[in-house]
Structure 1
Amino acid sequence: MTKRLPLILLLNAAGLALFLSWYLPVNHGFWFPLDSGVFHFFNQALVKSQTFLWLVAITNNRAFDGCSLLAMGSLMYWFWRREAAPGRRRILIIGLVMLLAAVVVNQLAQGLMPVKRASPTLFFSNIYRVSELLHIPTKDASKDSFPGDHGMMLLIFTTIMLRYFGRRAFAVSLIIFVVFAFPRVMIGAHWLSDIAVGSFTAVLIGMPWILLTPLSDRLITLFDRYLPKGHNKYKTNN
């Protein structure tokens, strides 16, 4: 813990600096032109390509969120199937700790970040909305888009993979993050900074205290001790 404290504080400082770079400047400084430019680039592309329009609509349908869970679960399953019973149990418990961490970090982020803003589709006028162009269920707007909770969950998953499964798993989880987080930006349900600032800030401040301290390991040990276990049957000799 003592050896890792400087790293924890450094990551926390990076998260705070990232947030303040967006929060303190008038009109969010350089972030607003970047946010606006990214939004309008993709928004104009919606009416230039029918293929892109359908791609954005499908990847922001609620059913597609299930695909993100499937992708994360598949990556963990790849490791799970290579383990014996104790290792498989540990991986399942790591998944439980990940969900608990996601709930805690998300709630703290929502409560501690003094920000409430609508998505760009509700902020700008004279823009295109996928739900109006195709009239199918898709998430193209949010009344409170900061921080990006979907991106936050995916980032928490990547940190768990790095901590317990190594760099290769981390690299794959980063791909999952990009594939499933950025469609929200492409459709206009989130600003780029909802993820690049909001989600990253929450993870940089919250997750080091979970993963770089004994907390996550102790939670795994605690759950392993108290969660029900299967009973092995042994033959007895009379």
Structure 2
Amino acid sequence: MIMVRIPAILLLNILGVGLFLSWFLPLNHGYWFAIDAGIFHFFNQQLAHSRPFVWFVAITNNRAFDLCSLLCMGLLMLSYWLRATPPGRRQILITGVVMLLCAVVLNQLGKVIPVERASPTLYFHNIYRVSELLDFPTKDSSRDSFPGDHGLMLLIFCGFMLRYFGKKACAVAVIIFLVFIVPRMMSGAHWFSDVFVGSLSLALIGLPWWLMTPFSDAIIRWFNQRLPGKYKLPPRH
């Protein structure tokens, strides 16, 4: 059980709110739009000059590639599960369940944000779209891309890895995050700020209350006491 670190939680919350407001308040999103547009047009121009790049972007934005991100997250947790004791293995599985529960809650919180934003491929005209360059199922657009739900899930994974598995696991999780979020920007399915403002601000606001208080530990313990199977924790009296 960890102690509640209110000053650190509030600082992260302030950073999250400040990050969001730096995008939300300025007219046309201020400097964020210049960053977003620059990144989108850089990658979009590459689609016109490199057929291998088109295929790379198409494949990495196929729905099957999303399963690869789940596989990578699962393999990282599996590496710790294999080295754990039987009670520890049960704890790791339950931690995964609680992480998914956290993702559902924060994703629903993201839907409350009064922003509806089309992806850059639907915003700009006279641009290249992977789906028009290839006859291949791929994601290159979104009618509501803010905040990036895929990016939020990967950031939540990073947070849980840091909290329950340490800095080394978190470093690997950050690599997984980058590998699987950058293709969304390459295809134009998401703006840079969908992830690095939308997803990140939500993570900074919501995750600390899960992971820097006894809240997630309490939920894990609750599941551990009530789910069937060997090695479950005895209820407290």
Question: Do these two structures clear the TM 0.5 threshold for a shared fold by scoring above it?
Answer: yes
In the TM superposition, residue 2 of structure 1 has moved relative to its aligned partner by 6.8
Equivalent residue, structure 2, for 1:102: 103
Once residues 154 and 2 of structure 1 are traced to their aligned partners in structure 2, the CA distance between those partners, rounded to angstroms, is 25
- Paired residues in the alignment total 231
- 1:73-88 equivalent positions in 2, closer than 5 A: 73-88=74-89
Equivalent residue, structure 2, for 1:235: none
Equivalent residue, structure 2, for 1:5: 6
1:139-185 CA-partner distances (Å, limit 9, x unpaired): 00000000000000000000000000000000000000000011101
- 1:77-156 equivalent positions in 2, closer than 5 A: 77-111=78-112, 113-156=113-156
Q: Flag structure 2 segments of 5+ consecutive residues without an equivalent.
A: 232-237
User: CA 1:164 to 1:2, structure 2 compared with 1: closer, same or farther past 3 Å?
Assistant: closer
Determine if contact 2:58/2:130 at 8 Å carries over to the other structure: yes
Once residues 199 and 29 of structure 2 are traced to their aligned partners in structure 1, the CA distance between those partners, rounded to angstroms, is 16
In the TM superposition, residue 3 of structure 1 has moved relative to its aligned partner by 5.3
Output the TM-score relative to the length of structure 2: 0.95
Once residues 230 and 218 of structure 2 are traced to their aligned partners in structure 1, the CA distance between those partners, rounded to angstroms, is 21
In the TM superposition, residue 230 of structure 1 has moved relative to its aligned partner by 3.1
Determine whether 1:205 maps to 2:205. Answer: yes
User: What is the identity, as a one-letter code, of the residue corresponding to 1:191?
Assistant: W
Once residues 27 and 15 of structure 1 are traced to their aligned partners in structure 2, the CA distance between those partners, rounded to angstroms, is 20
Once residues 4 and 118 of structure 2 are traced to their aligned partners in structure 1, the CA distance between those partners, rounded to angstroms, is 41
In the TM superposition, residue 50 of structure 1 has moved relative to its aligned partner by 1.1
Equivalent residue, structure 1, for 2:45: 44
Once residues 49 and 94 of structure 2 are traced to their aligned partners in structure 1, the CA distance between those partners, rounded to angstroms, is 47
User: What is the identity, as a one-letter code, of the residue corresponding to 1:32?
Assistant: F
Once residues 2 and 96 of structure 1 are traced to their aligned partners in structure 2, the CA distance between those partners, rounded to angstroms, is 23
Per the alignment, in what secondary structure is the counterpart of residue 47 of structure 1?
Answer: helix
Determine if contact 2:3/2:213 at 8 Å carries over to the other structure: no
User: What is the identity, as a one-letter code, of the residue corresponding to 1:226?
Assistant: R
Determine if contact 2:46/2:53 at 8 Å carries over to the other structure: yes
